Amino acid sequence: MSNDSNPSLDQIRKEVEALKWHHSIDLGNGIVTPGQDNSAKKMKRLNFPDSFKGKTVLDIGSWDGFFAFEAERRGAEKVLATDSFIWQGSVDWAGKQGFDLAKRVLNSKVDEQVVDILDISPETVEMHDVVFFLGVLYHMRHPLLSLEKVASVTKEMVILETAVDMLWHRRPAIAFYPTDEVGSDPTNWCGPNTAAVVGMLKTVGFKRVEVVSGVRSLPWRIAKAAYYKWKRGHQFWSGLRFDRIVVHAWK
Ligand SMILES: C[S@@+](CC[C@H](N)C(=O)[O-])C[C@H]1O[C@@H](n2cnc3c(N)ncnc32)[C@H](O)[C@@H]1O
């Protein structure tokens, strides 16, 4: 029997199609969730270790869980996915259903916990060898405090990915977004530059901090700003101020 006429696969396809996805998760049998995020492409910039064998991993702000499932696939001994905003149904277009469906179809053992970042501590989520803090920092009203929470549960290293702003400034600087001025998204609160991200990580106790994927060249950012102006109507000039970086930091 071909996959196309397999009733359980048809059922999974229907369930996938009924949801709005953030992550593009390969569920096998040719089914990939249609996420807005090209998660597999992001992997290269994240520079994940090839193996998490024997490690415990905490994924903070997991959403559909792509990176938690990837840690499990790379041999992590135990993975805990946490989230609050999306998983608690704070918006009507997304929730925890994507994570639940992917976990079921992948037959994953990833643990899950609804917890706000500001409530993260060794008592609430335990300590973990490796902590992912991906795409979350710029959503924080209290960026330094949130990094203190991240550090408090990290035994070895954190892998952090974030949007950055204030790129013309060499000194550590953080833009504050009191409204929805960035991407028309009121949940974007702050835009640190690279020096601020590195400085904050050192401040909260990481001894070695390495920018593994830094700000891209001005021509690259011009092309990206032009694309987002065309695709989503974003402002071209302010688009040049932004990029995304990936930082690995060790205790
Ligand atoms: C841009 S998404 C990033 C998702 C995923 N980590 C990635 O990199 O693709 C930000 C995630 O952080 C979560 N989040 C935002 N504020 C939070 C908070 N205060 N506590 C816990 N999670 C939060 C959101 O629910 C969302 O899942």
Query: What is the DSSP-derived secondary structure letter of residue 125?
Result: H
- Tell whether ligand 1 has an atom less than 6 A from the beta carbon of residue 80: no
The pLDDT of residue 3 is 46
Instruction: Report the C-alpha gap between 175 and 183 in whole angstroms.
Output: 14
CB-side neighbour CA atoms (13 Å) of 150? 32
pTM for the full predicted model: 0.95
Taking residues 51-75, what's their average pLDDT?
98
Domain 3-216+244-250 sits in CATH 3.40.50.150: yes
Helix (H) or strand (E) holding 114, with range, is strand 111-114
Opening angle at CA 13, ends 8 and 17, nearest 5: 150
- For residue 35 and ligand 1, the question of a CB distance below 6 A is answered with no
84 lines ligand 1 (CB under 6 A): yes
Kindly give the distance from the C-alpha atom of residue 8 to the centroid of ligand 1, in angstroms, as a whole number. 31
pLDDT of res. 232: 84
pLDDT band at 5 (very low <50, low <70, confident <90, very high): low
| pLDDT confidence band for 234 (50 / 70 / 90) | confident
Mean pLDDT of the chain: 94
Q: What is the DSSP string of 74-102?
A: TTBSEEEEEESTTTTT-STT--SHHHHHH
pLDDT per residue over 171-221, tens digit each? 999 999 999 888 788 999 999 999 999 999 999 999 999 999 999 999 999
Going from the Cα of 115 to the center of ligand 1, the distance in angstroms, rounded, reads 11
Tell me the C-alpha distance between 194 and 161, whole Å. Answer: 11
| Span 10-37, pLDDT tens digits | 999 999 999 999 999 999 999 999 999 9
